[in-house]
Amino acid sequence: RWVIRISEDHYIKDVAKELAALGMSKQVILAELGSITGQADARMVAKMRKVEGVLEIEPDSAIRLVSPEGDKS
């Protein structure tokens, strides 16, 4: 799973279509964050980086939020 950051100068849905054409699936467009998440083979990352409007591609990672009081479980 990958997180792709998109330039503000590009329409995010157009970039998503181009990424899908390269094989990215299960896309989630996070327009407010200027990002797209989705699944793609690691071998496709170099091609995805060349899509106009793509600023950065990183592996998705789990984020665990903890309350300010700490984890009391």
Q: Determine whether 8 is exposed, middle or buried from the number of CB atoms within 10 Å of its CB (0-12, 13-18, 19+).
A: exposed
CA pair distance 64, 73, nearest whole angstrom: 14
pLDDT, average across residues 22-33: 91
d(CA 44, CA 52): 15
| 64 pLDDT above the threshold of 70 | no
**pLDDT at position 63 over 80:** no
Q: Which of 13-17, 57-61, 65-69 has the lowest mean pLDDT?
A: 65-69
Phi, psi (deg, nearest 5) at residue 63: -120, 130
Give the number of residues written for the chain. Answer: 73
The reported pTM is 0.77
